[in-house]
């Protein structure tokens, strides 16, 4: 670990946690399953340590669900998977109060979100009503059913997979739902060597069955606390605010970044710095995370869409236009 890298106490007196080393172990374990995608694995770890949620968007068959399952197996904590379908009900996600004939009272039966890692597979195949069942738990880490509020476990992360909207049988995620995802990533196709290796490795057994946990929920909580304690200089905070403000003034956008986007960009930058072995955030961390954190929240104007502009291109231009804080 580099000089000055974050080391903070784990719960129950377990000693300091080395965020860089623990993150490398988790990434290595996930890399045995998600072959040839180190940047994708790293971003998933950044979102986990930022206490956020990850939206994985791409065409079927490129490993979206495999990535989510690999993280779930690498971290020894409670995991639930929800297959989103058009007939899925909100109560299937959050839980429901059931009348008990013996006690003559209602008993709450928790839904699938009561876990540390929730894999929401093909989230945009469910109706908007069912999608909205995740809004409260993703933002406030709690579920309210029949007027009673139930706290969720910590850490809590939703890893949602999504097919492109032009594919048949999908519903677009509303703006409020997209804004709750810390980052969005596309898996992309593997390179030739990785795809050849995949054909050999998976001919006999699925690598997921061989993946063993290398961390637990307590370790992840300690890592999250270490990330939250990282120092961020005031000029960097102003830099983040300037970026999100610039998005709201962009002539190419009809919806810029929200205040929540700025908060999550800073948390992601902290996590990236910690995984790099530093105890402070650099402008490079903010710039690295700006695309994955901001692009999926931005809505193009009709003219910009006709000109084949993309939110990712707009973010790149914002990074070029907003002055970067200089080191003193």
The rounded average pLDDT for each run of 10 residues, N- to C-terminus, in the chain (328 residues) is 42 69 94 88 95 88 81 86 91 88 84 90 88 91 89 91 72 87 87 78 76 91 94 95 96 94 96 95 96 95 94 95 84
Which secondary structure element, helix H or strand E, spans residue 108, and what is its range?
A: strand 105-110
Per domain, the residue ranges of the chain are 231-328
Q: Indicate whether this model's pTM tops 0.85.
A: yes
What pLDDT is attached to residue 166?
62
**Angstrom distance (rounded) from CA 178 to CA 156:** 17
Strand locations in 228-319 (E): 253-255, 299-300
What pLDDT is attached to residue 328?
59
What pLDDT is attached to residue 210?
85
Fold of 231-328: Helicase, Ruva Protein; domain 3 (1.10.8)
Give residue 53's Cα distance to chain centre: 3
Cβ neighbours around 209 below 10 Å, total: 8
**Angstrom distance (rounded) from CA 113 to CA 120:** 9
Cβ(144)–Cβ(95) under 8 Å? no
**Angstrom distance (rounded) from CA 286 to CA 291:** 9
What pLDDT is attached to residue 102?
80
What pLDDT is attached to residue 227?
95
Pick the closest to residue 314 from 113, 297, 327 (CA basis).
Answer: 297
- The residues, ordered by sequence, that sit 6+ positions from 196 with a Cβ below 8 Å of its Cβ are none
What pLDDT is attached to residue 165?
64
């Amino acid at each position: 670990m580099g000089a000055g890298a974050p080391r903070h106490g784990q719960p129950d007196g377990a000693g300091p946690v080395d965020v860089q080393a623990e993150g490398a172990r988790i990434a290595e374990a996930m890399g045995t399953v998600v072959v040839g995608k180190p940047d994708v694995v790293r971003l998933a770890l950044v979102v986990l340590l930022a206490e956020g949620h990850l939206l994985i968007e791409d065409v079927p068959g490129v490993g979206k669900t495999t990535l989510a399952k690999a993280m779930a197996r690498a971290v020894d904590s409670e995991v639930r998977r929800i297959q989103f379908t058009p007939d899925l009900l909100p109560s299937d996600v959050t839980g429901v109060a059931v009348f008990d004939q013996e006690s003559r009272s209602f008993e709450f039966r928790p839904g699938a979100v009561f876990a540390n890692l929730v894999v929401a597979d093909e989230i945009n195949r469910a109706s908007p009503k069912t999608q909205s069942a995740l809004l409260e738990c993703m933002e406030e880490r709690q579920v309210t059913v029949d007027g009673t509020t139930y706290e969720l476990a910590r850490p809590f992360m939703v890893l949602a997979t999504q097919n492109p909207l032009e594919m048949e049988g999908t519903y677009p995620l509303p703006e409020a739902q997209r804004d709750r995802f810390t980052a969005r990533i596309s898996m992309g196709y593997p390179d030739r060597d990785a795809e050849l290796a995949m054909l050999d490795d998976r001919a006999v057994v699925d690598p997921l069955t061989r993946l063993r946990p290398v961390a637990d929920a307590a370790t992840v909580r300690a890592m999250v606390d270490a990330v939250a304690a990282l120092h961020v200089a005031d000029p960097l905070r102003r830099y983040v605010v300037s970026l999100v403000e610039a998005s709201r003034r962009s002539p190419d956008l009809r919806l810029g970044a929200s205040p929540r986007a700025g908060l999550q960009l800073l948390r992601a930058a902290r996590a990236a710095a910690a995984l790099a072995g530093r105890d402070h955030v650099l402008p490079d961390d903010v710039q690295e995370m700006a695309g994955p954190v901001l692009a999926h929240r931005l809505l193009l104007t009709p003219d910009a869409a006709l000109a084949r502009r993309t939110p990712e291109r707009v973010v790149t231009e914002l990074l070029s236009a907003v002055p970067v804080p200089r080191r003193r």
